[in-house]
Copies of this chain bind each other. A is one copy, B any other.
Amino acid sequence: MPLDSGATIGPFTLAYQTYGTLNADRSNAILVCHALTGDQFVCEPHPVTGKPGWWSMLIGPGLPIDTDRYFIICANVLGGCMGTTGPAETDPETGRPFGLTFPVITIGDMVRAQMLLVDHLGIDQLFCVIGGSMGGMQVLQLASAYPDRVFAALPIATAARHSAQNIAFHEVGRQAIMADPDWHGGDYAARDIRPTRGLSVARMAAHITYLSETALHRKFGRNLQDRQRLGFSFDADFQVESYLRHQGMTFVDRFDANSYLYITRAMDYFDLAAEHGGVLADAFRPGGKPTPVRFCLVSFTSDWLFPTAESRAIVHGLNTVAANVSFVEIASDKGHDAFLLDEPEFHRVMRGFLEGLAEHRGLGQRLVASR
């Protein structure tokens, strides 16, 4: 497969999960795209952590993304570390882990790989493509590059380009990883060691950006671990410190440091307008005509990583070409993470949008009648 960098990759593995049943005319497939540290285990326990899938609240029988009605596909992104070919996998040419010899990939490459899977499954047109954060970038990319291959698109808490601040936070994480002597220029796997300290710091820094100040305050405030008094040491005095350290430590058990470098890089490189002469609207004007894809955008009021203004910019681009678009800003104080949390209004919006589409496409009945 050709890559945006000019390199090629292949053969490669794309690890994916499906839920529900593909109907006879293959018209009920929903592609779910995961975020930076997500994976294909979207609504089943994670094989490493044993925790529920990251959208278990949203995907399942009778849930907004109803597995009795739709056929859900979720693939680990190219460059990932949950089975899809990425820097931690063995390079068949050398018999050694790729490490930094893995090519730098883009959101476009991730989507191209997923479309090979969609082809492989014999699906001409996806019913919908859905994703939040980096998943939303893939949604935008797919809808822009393959307007005839998807009926509707649901980009959530995302942006058409990574901002300077977002790039800056990613760069801090990458520097933390690369500063870890156990990183060994990316060649740690061959040495049977992992840069866990650097990756943990990267995760801690990123995790702060996923939460709002309000959420952190409500959750922890200045509460102490030992409620009696300050420790006057560098142990975790405050609950928020202990929480962050835990986030960092558990993350390294399930994620590869080089994958983190590659995937953050792909996000930084994402700039949908740049591929269209700097005019975002042109990303949604294939062959000079308005995109046929139906869009529903969702943002959250307290998300400062992918603020509402970024969604508005996309809506503006879609409006410019008179595309079919709806946009909902959900009032939430949970920050960027809101798209992964129990936000009833968000879930209602998703259910409503999909039900409307399903009616339009004649997917009005649940495929499994008895449950």
Which A residues fall within an 8 A CB radius of B? Answer: 4-7, 100, 103-104, 161-165, 167-169, 171-172, 174-176, 178-181, 197-198, 200-201, 204-205, 208, 211, 213, 216-217, 219-222, 230, 232-234, 236-238, 240-241, 244-245, 248, 261, 265, 268-269, 271, 274, 304, 307
Contacts and interface: CB of A to CB of B under 8 A. Distances in A.
A164 B234 contact: no
8 shortest interchain CB distances as A-B pairs: A179-B197, A5-B232, A164-B216, A104-B232, A171-B241, A165-B213, A164-B220, A164-B240
B176 A201 contact: yes
Given A104-B233, A176-B176, A171 B204 contact: yes
A272 to B, nearest CB: 12
Contacts of A103: 232
B269 A230 contact: yes
B167 A241 contact: yes
Contacts of A307: 213
Contacts of A241: 167-168, 171
Nearest to A240: B164
B167 A240 contact: yes
A100 B234 contact: yes
B164 A222 contact: yes
Contacts of A236: 171
7 contacts: A163-B217, A165-B216, A168-B216, A175-B201, A175-B248, A179-B197, A230-B269
A269 to B, nearest CB: 6
B164 A245 contact: no
Contacts of A271: 222
B217 A165 contact: yes
Given A5-B232, A240-B167, A175 B204 contact: yes
A213 to B, nearest CB: 5
A219 to B, nearest CB: 7
A265 B245 CA distance: 16
Contacts of A164: 213, 216-217, 219-222, 238, 240
A211 B169 CA distance: 12
A2 to B, nearest CB: 13
A181 B234 CA distance: 17
Contact of A238 (B104, B167, B178): B167
A180 B200 CA distance: 12
Contact of A181 (B181, B220, B221): B181
A169 B356 CA distance: 43
Contacts of A175: 200-201, 204, 244-245, 248
A84 B274 CA distance: 52
Contacts of A104: 232-234
A54 to B, nearest CB: 22
A162 B216 CA distance: 12
Contact of A172 (B205, B217, B261): B205
A317 B50 CA distance: 48
A34 to B, nearest CB: 22
